[in-house]
Amino acid sequence: MLPDITDKKLIELEEKAATIRDLIIEMLLTAKSGHTAGPIGMADIFSALYFYILNHKPEDPLWDGRDRLVLSNGHICPVRYAAMALSDYFPIDELKTLRKINSRLQGHPHRIAIDGLETTSGPLGEGISQSIGIALALKMDNKNNRVYCITSDGEHEEGCTWEAIMMGAKYRLDNLTVIIDRNNIQIDGFTEDVMPLDDLKKKYESFNWHVLEVNGHSIKEFIEAVAEAQTIHEKPQCIIAHTIPGFGVDFMENEALWHGKPPNSEEAKKAIKEINTMKNKIRSEY
């Protein structure tokens, strides 16, 4: 069970999230390609996962007792790479090799490139199926490890996603928590224009999942939701995290064009200035 979070730890996690956002901007500026809005919008959740929630050992990334984190929407991998580097899975300087030829940090995660990546992701809609296989195997081996699967809202337009959701309920995989980045955008625009998803909470509940909805930028709220999810028996859990794409960078927020667009040098300077303002605000509020 997760302990109650202290104000001191919450400040640390929020500052980590801001640092992750800084690193994402720097990575994408150097790469001159990649996705911006989604990774920035998920920085708070990845900070909570890597620095508070997950049982993991960066010094022993294949530790048998680790929780498994599956990133289904692999295009937001800059946020995961940044969190992993800050956790000492690999040197921070390596982040600047994002999307370079022969780099370990490709535009979608490659499982065998870095120990600590559980799956290779690229085609959307596969992560929940992969996570169900992992969770079921852990159950069969009588292990207590938990599986967390990060998904996008857009990939819930994929039929295979719902087949997987049915299977998770059938096998009562209470060691599985799916986290949906409900930011309402995808590469072609807003999800509700491209293919309306409507009420995802009601849909998951109709498939016999335990569902929670949170503000994805409230680290405290997200941690409390994960703590509740860990108490649920006989059902997989889904946390719908409502996020703002590009959160913390005013000119990127809620703009679908930033889904797959990297910043240029002037945009990067402006973004980092706004993120630094966020850091100062975090320190002043506690």
Query: What pLDDT was estimated at residue 255?
Result: 87
Measure the CA–CA gap between 9 and 89, rounded to whole angstroms.
21
| Cβ contact 47:20 at 8 Å | yes
- Torsion 200-202-204-207 (CA) sign: negative
Look up the CATH superfamily of 7-284.
Thiamin diphosphate (ThDP)-binding fold, Pyr/PP domains (3.40.50.970)
pTM of the model: 0.96
Query: What pLDDT was estimated at residue 88?
Result: 97
Query: What pLDDT was estimated at residue 3?
Result: 83
Query: What pLDDT was estimated at residue 286?
Result: 59
In the chain, which residues have pLDDT < 70? Answer: 285-286
User: What is the residue extent of each domain of the chain?
Assistant: 7-284
Task: Please give the torsion angle defined by the CA atoms of residues 197, 167, 180 and 97, in that order, rounded to the nearest 10 degrees.
Answer: -120
Query: What pLDDT was estimated at residue 214?
Result: 98
